[in-house]
Amino acid sequence: MPELGHVGAKQIAALAGLAPFNVDSGAFRGKRKIAGGRKRVRDALYMAALNAVRRADPFKAFYERLRQVGKPAKLALIAVARKLLTVLNAMMRDRKPYLKAGPQ
């Protein structure tokens, strides 16, 4: 994605199709769904998220935390994919490699 590093986290998530799309009208509040964006980017991030929840500690912990509060597995995976995209965007913006966070 050529926009990586040049737009904010919300905009990059929308471009990749990982931002919730509102289906609202007047007083009616519909469901939020993931729609639009670039399908190939979204598919690649989804596959990366599958791998990240199995092997990468910070992303695995984030996924497990969402599952423990009752979120469905697919929703938690999409949240991890969006977090991966946000990290990639920040890496490109700051021109720094990924550094796994140490103990707090």
pLDDT score at 47: 96
Q: In this predicted model, what pLDDT tens digit does every residue of 28-86 receive, in sequence order?
A: 777 777 777 888 998 999 999 999 999 878 999 999 999 999 999 999 999 999 999 99
d(CA 86, CA 104): 21
- Sequence-distant (6+) residues with CB within 8 A of 104 are none
Q: Is 90 exposed, middle or buried (0-12, 13-18, 19+ CB in 10 A)?
A: middle
d(CA 15, CA 26): 26
pLDDT score at 45: 93
d(CA 27, CA 36): 24
pLDDT score at 72: 94
